[in-house]
């Protein structure tokens, strides 16, 4: 029982961490263009778009 | 630019330049500055289709001085470019894209940002999913027989997760239920909201006193499943909307204004006021209604505005409607109305008025829920009364009543419609057909008759030549024709290209609006155009035949070119598909009776079902009358003049090269050339509706089994959870079966060579 009292918050905390990670990714536009990302890996030397000074 | 004499091809350059300036002005205005001082532009590039396109465009754009970043969004076919102040001319972005070989469209509209509704739904969905998973895990251990203290603890923790999760994720349902109740109506969300809130309240009570059954997992799961349906539905509509947006015009939404001193500047369509003098280049559409100024003449194509398939000549003082296409020469014209009072907007208003009637259409899901919701509440209330009457305590009676509410909560029903529709929309999308709303499937499946427009719908808006033309003649004619944008000239030039004939070289070219083209080929004068004008220079030759297009060159007998419109491919097969299903067909057109009758005869419309020379409001009235007589109608049309009809008909479909107004109002938009899309949409809609009905039947069957068990108190939380998930899975599985069924294409309509069919379609061409 004492183990449980300790483990349940840990489990929930990890779950919440995953949830927060997803929401962060969604807000950052990681899910905006799923088809495009599938194709980008085929490009030879597509420079990262934000690297230009 | 001179405004008096007929302009020659030689000064076509300024016209092109003016067009470019128009787009440049509009593009520069479309930029939005963010807090960091970067200016953001969005360009729609529909022809992006591969990984190479992405890297080509991004590398090409990043090379421009002043471009901070360029990113292609492949899903929406849009390019987002962030620029700094170092960028001298924003239009370089568009120029670069087009130089790389991709036609660019301006006016991505407001849709370049995020879709706020989708973000909200997505957040609600993941929160509900998180809640459902964790509460489920805790509940399983309770069901597996945790002892008393642990059990109560787990129930309390479940409550702590479930209550906030449901209150957050269920907001879309609570809101919609509340607004329905305020209007004094019932929709599907009312029993959902009541059931969820009662269940939560009851479970919190049970958990705090300890020892009873709690139902925390049921409401969280229910909200989770329902949100899946909502998200799918929303994504489908969003895809269709952005697809239709991407079909938007390549031209700018504005015009060049000519000031009293002769200077020119750019005005957006919204800024045009009556009395302004505008310069309309050849190949542009007139933005508002107005009249041509003195000494101006050109040919215009009114097919989008009135359905007239042949170009007409207009001169000084003639009225031109908004939406007409200027074919021959740049002209100055005086606006007589602002954009809100021009023909296009007139049509928009007629259409909106017509759609008021359509708004009363009740979707199948809502029809079911209007019966279902009272039934659920009644069953629950009767259970409560029954348990009290049979001598149980209020607490037991209340628990049983709540169990009934939960078990009947329309999980499967909520998924039944959107899943089937999303599958259907996906199948149609692969065939190049966009569906605007979910209810379009239902309305399409209900139609009892089909009404067609002619120009641009049954016939393609191109004029083609007969094959009986000698090669050397075609080479001579193409010398003139290839230098003009008049549709007849374009038809001749494209025929020459098709046969691989190189046009002769011509000099001293001039376009005479209302007459034709003239020039010199190898020193001999040549004319292509109206019969009387062309034959002035011909060797002695008389003919009693009028109409058609004539070519004359000094020292040679003149040549007559017969012009005909071409039937859209697949039109015969489409007619057959509807005939086989016994749907009567009607043809309503604004064009001249002779050509309408010719097309009608070729496609087997009965005489009584053909009507020509019908104005826009006339079309809408006819459709209304036909719908009153034979039931719901499908209307197939494309023009501005069809907009009211598109709105009036029960359901409508339009080709993607239709007018903007048409695309904005039709339920379905098809992008291919083939008319087969019309019968495809009909057949697939039928299949989708059948699938929706199966899903409904399955969901209701589940209720017939589950409700009696809940009433007599046999349903445990475990049983409810299992029943709920399986019924949802069955419904989703059945919808995926539809996908398998539709994977084989519905027989692709194939006509015999349409050229042969078109032979019969001789058209009177008059230039005067």
Which of the residues B40, B49, B130, B142 would you substitute to probe the A interface, choosing the one with the greatest number of A C-beta atoms within 10 Å? B130
Listed in sequence order, the residues at least 6 apart from B107 whose beta carbon sits closer than 8 Å to its beta carbon are B26, B30, B44, B248, B249, B253
Between the two ends of chain B, the Cα-to-Cα distance in Å is 26
Is A48 an interface residue toward B (CB < 8 Å)?
A: no
pLDDT greater at residue B362 or residue B585: B585
Contact call for residues B239 and B438 (beta carbons, < 8 A): no
Average of per-residue pLDDT across B404-408: 81
Taking the Cβ of residue A6 and every Cβ of chain B, the question of whether any pair is shorter than 8 Å is answered with no
Decide if pLDDT at B2 tops 50.
Answer: no
**B151 vs B140: CA distance, rounded Å:** 11
The span from the CA of B451 to the CA of B575, in Å, is: 11
Which is nearest to B206 in space by CA: B159, B161, B162? B159
Q: Do B69 and A50 touch (CB under 8 A)?
A: yes
Option in A18, A35, A45 nearest B74 (CB): A35
Chain A residues within 8 A of B76 when measuring between CB atoms: 33
Report pLDDT for B475. Answer: 84
pLDDT of residue B634: 94
Can you give the pLDDT at residue B80? 87
In this prediction, residue B743 carries a pLDDT of 72
CB proximity list for B177: less than 8 A, separation 6 or greater:
B187, B189, B190, B192, B193, B194
Interface A-B, measured as beta-carbon pairs within 8 A, has a size of: 73
Rounded to an integer, what distance in angstroms lies between the CA atom of residue B579 and that of residue B561?
36
Question: What is the reported pLDDT for B744?
Answer: 62
Partner-chain contact B75 A32, CB within 8 Å: yes
Q: B69 vs A49: CB contact, 8 Å cut-off? A: yes
Residue B384: is its pLDDT beyond 70? yes
Q: What pLDDT score was predicted for residue B129?
A: 94
For residue B76, give the H/E element and its range: none
B150 chain-A contacts, CB cut-off 8 A? 1, 4
What local confidence, expressed as pLDDT, does residue B406 receive? 79
Contact of A32 with chain B, judged by CB distance below 8 Å, is answered with: yes
How would you write B657-688 as a 3-class SS string?
CCCHHHHHHCCEEECCCCCHHHHHHHHHHHHH
Residues of A in contact with B130 (CB under 8 A): 15-16, 18-19
Q: Please give the Cα distance from B733 to B741 (Å, whole number).
A: 13
A4: contact with B, CB 8 A cutoff: yes
Q: What is the pLDDT of residue B690?
A: 92
Of B50, B58, B149, nearest to A49 by CB-CB distance is B58
pLDDT band at B283 (very low <50, low <70, confident <90, very high): low
Contact status, residue B67 vs residue B81, Cβ threshold 8 Å: yes
Cα B478 versus chain centre, distance = 37
Q: Which two tokens stand for residue B512?
A: 């005479």
Q: What integer pLDDT is reported at residue B463 of this predicted model?
A: 53
Q: How confident is the model at residue B31 (pLDDT cuts 50, 70, 90)?
A: confident
Interatomic CA distance for residues B705 and B263, integer angstroms: 80
* Beta-strand relationship, B459-465 and B312-314: unpaired
Tell me how far apart the alpha carbons of residues B638 and B306 are, in angstroms, rounded to a whole number: 11
Residue B72 to residue A32, Cβ atoms within 8 A? no
pLDDT at B659 over 90: no
Question: pLDDT class for A47, splitting at 50, 70, 90?
Answer: low
Percent of chain B, pLDDT > 70?
Answer: 82
Determine the pLDDT at residue A32: 79
Q: Which band of pLDDT confidence, cut at 50, 70 and 90, is reported for residue B449?
A: very high
pLDDT of residue B13: 46
User: Do the chains contact at A39 and B134, CB–CB below 8 Å?
Assistant: no
Which residues from chain B sit within 8 angstroms of residue A21, using beta carbons?
Answer: none
**Closest-approach residue (CA) in chain B for A9:** B157
Confidence label for B577 from pLDDT (cuts 50, 70 and 90): very high
- Range ranked top by mean pLDDT from B290-294, B296-300, B643-647: B290-294
* Residue B654 or B462, more confident: B654
- pLDDT tens digits, one per residue of B128-184: 999 999 999 888 888 888 787 888 888 999 999 999 999 999 999 999 889 888 888
Asked whether the predicted pLDDT for residue A53 surpasses 70, the reply is no
Active-site annotation of B, residues: 453
CB-based contacts of B19, cutoff 8 Å, min separation 6: B251, B252, B281, B283, B284
* Residue bearing tokens 């499937």: B441
Local confidence band at B287 (pLDDT 50, 70, 90 cut-offs) = confident
A25 at B interface, C-beta within 8 A: no
Residues in chain B within 8 Å Cβ distance of A26: 119, 122-123, 126
pLDDT band at B3 (very low <50, low <70, confident <90, very high): very low
pLDDT score of A1: 65
Q: For residues B663 and B705, is the Cβ–Cβ distance under 8 A?
A: no
Residue bearing the bigger pLDDT, B613 or B484: B613
Cβ count within 10 A of residue B349: 14
The predicted pLDDT at position B7 comes to 34
pLDDT given for residue B168 in this prediction: 95
A14 touching B, CB under 8 A? no
pLDDT tens-digit profile of B457-474? 888 755 556 556 777 888
Extended strands (E) in B74-120: 78-83
Cβ proximity of B180 and B139 under 8 Å: no
pLDDT category at B245 given cuts 50, 70, 90 is low
What is the C-alpha to C-alpha distance for residues B230 and B118, in angstroms, rounded to an integer? 10
Residue in chain B lying closest to A51 (CA):
B69
Query: Is the CB of B127 less than 8 angstroms away from the CB of A19?
Result: yes
Higher pLDDT, B617 or B276: B276
**Model confidence at B11: pLDDT above 50:** no
Query: Mean of the pLDDT values across residues B367-394?
Result: 85
- CA B134 to chain A, closest CA, distance in angstroms equals 7
What is the pLDDT at residue B367? 77
Contacting residues of A for B58, CB less than 8 Å apart: 46-47, 49
The confidence score (pLDDT) of residue B764 equals 30
Q: How confident is the model at residue B255 (pLDDT cuts 50, 70, 90)?
A: confident
Instruction: Indicate whether B423 pLDDT > 60.
Output: yes
| Closest by CA position to B256, among listed B238, B235, B278, B287 | B278
The Cα-based distances of B366 to B360, B424, B515, B537 in angstroms read 12, 20, 60, 72
Compare CB distances from A23 to B74, B123, B153 and report the shortest one's residue.
Answer: B123
Of residues B372 and B527, the one with the higher pLDDT is B527
Q: Band of the pLDDT at B768, cuts 50, 70, 90?
A: very low
The residue among B188 and B202 whose pLDDT is bigger is: B202
Q: Inter-chain contact B73–A33, Cβ cutoff 8 Å? A: yes
Instruction: For B247-312, give the DSSP string.
Output: T--SS-SEEEEE-TTS-EEEEEGGG--TT-EEEE-TTPBPSS-EEEPTT--EEEE-HHHH---S-E
Per-residue confidence at B115, pLDDT binned at 50, 70, 90? Answer: confident
From the list A23, A33, A42, which residue is nearest B75 (CB)?
A33
Which residues fall within 8 angstroms of residue B161, CB to CB, at 6 or more apart?
A: A12, B131, B134, B135, B138, B216, B220
DSSP-assigned letters across all residues of B172-241 = HHHHHHHHHHHTT---THHHHHHHHHHHHHHHHHHHHH-SS---THHHHHHHHHHHHHHHHHHHHHHHHH
**Which residues from A are below 8 Å from B122, CB to CB?**
26
B110: closest CA of chain A, how far (Å): 16
State mean pLDDT over B351-361: 61
The confidence band for B761, taking pLDDT boundaries of 50, 70 and 90, is: very low
From B108-112, B327-331, B558-562, the region with the lowest mean pLDDT = B108-112
CA–CA separation, B16 vs B25, rounded Å?
Answer: 14
**Cross-chain Cβ contact A32/B58 below 8 Å:** no
Whether B513 and B486 have beta carbons less than 8 Å apart is answered as: no
Please tell me which residue of chain A has the smallest CA distance to B160: A12
CA distance B183 to A33: 40
Please determine, for residue B36, whether its predicted confidence score (pLDDT) is greater than 80: yes
β-pair partners for B320: B290
Helix/strand/coil (H, E, C) string of B118-167?
Answer: HHHHHHHHHHHHHHHHHHHHHHHHHHCCCCHHHHHHHHHHHHHHHHHHHH
Contacts of B518 (CB under 8 A, 6+ apart): B480, B509, B510, B512, B525, B526, B527, B528, B529
Parallel, antiparallel or unpaired: strands B563-567 and B459-465: antiparallel
pTM over cut 0.85:
no
Report the distance separating Cα B268 and Cα B26, nearest Å: 8
Task: With CB atoms and an 8 Å threshold, state whether B73 touches A1.
Answer: no
Distance CA B719, CA B733 (A): 21
Rounded mean pLDDT of chain B?
Answer: 79
Over the stretch B508-564, which tens digit does the pLDDT of each residue have? Answer: 887 776 677 888 888 888 888 877 778 777 765 555 555 567 888 887 777 777 766
List the single residue in B54, B153, B161 with the smallest CB-CB distance to A40: B54
CA distance B132 to chain A (A): 12
pLDDT of residue B753: 38
Q: Lowest-pLDDT range, B61-65, B326-330, B335-339?
A: B326-330
B313 close to B767: Cβ distance less than 8 angstroms: yes
Residues of B with CB under 8 A from a CB of A: 50-52, 54-55, 58-59, 62, 67-76, 114, 119, 122-123, 126-127, 130, 133-134, 137, 149-150, 153, 157, 161
Q: Which of B52, B68, B72 is nearest residue A36 as measured by Cβ atoms?
A: B72
Query: Smallest CA–CA separation between B203 and chain A, in Å?
Result: 20
- B140 CA: distance to closest CA in chain A (Å): 14
Selected residue with higher pLDDT from B220 and B497: B220
For residue A3, the distance in angstroms to the closest alpha carbon of chain B comes to 12
């Amino acid at each position: 029982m004492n183990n449980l009292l300790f483990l349940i918050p840990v489990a929930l905390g990890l779950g919440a961490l995953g949830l927060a990670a997803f929401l962060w990714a969604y807000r950052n536009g990681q899910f905006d263009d799923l088809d495009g990302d599938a194709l980008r890996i085929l490009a030879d030397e597509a420079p990262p778009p934000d690297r230009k000074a | 630019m001179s405004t008096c004499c007929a302009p020659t091809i030689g000064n076509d350059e300024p016209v092109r330049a003016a067009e470019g300036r128009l787009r440049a002005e509009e593009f520069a205005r479309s930029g939005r500055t963010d807090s960091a001082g970067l200016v953001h532009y969005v360009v729609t590039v529909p022809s992006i289709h591969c990984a190479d396109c992405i890297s080509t465009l991004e590398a090409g754009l990043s090379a421009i001085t002043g471009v901070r970043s360029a990113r292609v969004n492949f899903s929406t076919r849009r390019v987002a470019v962030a620029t700094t102040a170092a960028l001298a001319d924003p239009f370089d972005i568009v120029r670069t894209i087009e130089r790389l070989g991709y036609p660019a469209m301006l006016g991505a509209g407001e849709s370049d940002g995020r879709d706020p509704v989708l973000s909200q739904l997505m957040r609600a969905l993941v929160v509900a999913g998180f809640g459902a998973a964790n509460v489920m895990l805790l509940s399983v251990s309770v069901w597996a027989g945790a002892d008393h203290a642990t059990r109560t603890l787990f129930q309390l923790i479940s409550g702590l997760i479930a209550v906030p999760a449901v209150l957050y994720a269920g907001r879309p349902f609570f809101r919609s239920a509340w607004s329905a109740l305020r209007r004094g109506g019932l929709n599907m969300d009312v029993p959902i909201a009541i059931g969820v809130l009662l269940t939560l309240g009851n479970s919190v009570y049970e958990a705090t006193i300890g020892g009873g059954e709690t139902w925390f997992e049921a409401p969280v799961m229910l909200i989770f499943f329902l949100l899946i349906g909502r998200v799918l539905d929303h994504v489908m509509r969003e895809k269709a909307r952005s697809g239709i947006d991407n079909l938007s015009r390549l031209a700018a939404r504005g015009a060049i204004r000519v000031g009293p001193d002769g200077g020119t500047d750019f005005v957006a369509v919204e800024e045009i006021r009556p009395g302004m003098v505008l310069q309309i280049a050849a190949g542009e559409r007139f933005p508002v209604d107005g009249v041509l100024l003195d000494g101006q003449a050109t040919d215009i194509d009114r097919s989008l505005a009135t359905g007239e398939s042949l170009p007409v000549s207009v001169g000084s003082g003639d009225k031109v409607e908004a939406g007409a296409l200027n074919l021959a020469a740049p002209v100055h014209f005086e606006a007589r109305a602002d954009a809100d009072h021009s023909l296009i907007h007139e049509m928009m208003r007629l259409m909106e008025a017509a759609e008021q009637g359509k708004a009363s259409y009740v979707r199948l899901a809502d029809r079911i829920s209007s019966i279902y919701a009272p039934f659920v509440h009644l069953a629950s209330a009767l259970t409560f009364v029954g348990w009290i009457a049979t001598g149980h305590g209020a607490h037991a009676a209340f628990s049983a009543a709540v169990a009934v509410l939960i078990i009947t909560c329309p999980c499967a029903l909520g998924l039944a419609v959107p899943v089937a529709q999303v599958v259907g929309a996906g199948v149609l999308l692969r065939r190049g057909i966009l569906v605007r709303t979910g209810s379009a499937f239902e309305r399409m499946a209900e139609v009892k008759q089909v009404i067609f427009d002619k120009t641009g719908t049954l016939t393609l808006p191109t004029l083609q030549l007969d094959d009986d033309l000698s090669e050397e003649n075609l080479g001579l004619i193409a010398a003139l024709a290839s230098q003009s944008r008049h549709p007849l000239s374009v038809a001749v030039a494209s025929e020459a290209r098709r046969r691989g004939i190189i046009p002769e070289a011509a000099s001293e070219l001039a376009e005479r609006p209302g007459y034709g083209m003239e020039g010199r080929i190898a020193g001999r004068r040549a004319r292509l155009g109206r019969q009387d004008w062309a034959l002035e220079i011909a060797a002695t030759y008389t003919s009693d035949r009028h109409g058609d297009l004539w070519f004359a060159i000094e020292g040679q007998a003149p040549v007559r070119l017969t012009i005909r419109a071409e039937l859209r491919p697949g039109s015969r097969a489409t007619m057959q598909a509807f005939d086989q299903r016994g749907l009567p067909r009607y043809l309503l057109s604004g064009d001249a009776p002779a050509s309408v009758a010719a097309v009608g005869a070729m496609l087997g419309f009965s005489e009584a079902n053909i009507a020509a020379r019908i104005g826009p409001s006339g079309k809408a009235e006819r459709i209304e009358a036909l719908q009153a007589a034979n039931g719901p109608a499908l209307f197939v049309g494309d023009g501005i003049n069809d907009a009211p009809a598109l709105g009036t008909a029960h359901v409508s479909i339009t080709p993607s090269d239709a007018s903007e107004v048409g695309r904005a109002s039709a339920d379905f938009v098809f992008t291919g050339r083939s008319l087969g899309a019309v019968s495809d949409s009909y057949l697939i809609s039928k299949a989708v509706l059948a699938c929706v009905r199966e899903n409904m039947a399955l969901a209701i069957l589940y209720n017939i089994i589950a409700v009696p068990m809940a009433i007599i108190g046999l349903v445990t939380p475990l049983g409810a959870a299992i029943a709920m998930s399986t019924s949802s899975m069955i419904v989703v599985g059945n919808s995926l079966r539809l996908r398998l069924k539709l994977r084989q294409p519905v027989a692709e309509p194939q006509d015999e060579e349409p050229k042969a069919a078109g032979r019969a379609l001789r058209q009177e061409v008059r230039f005067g």
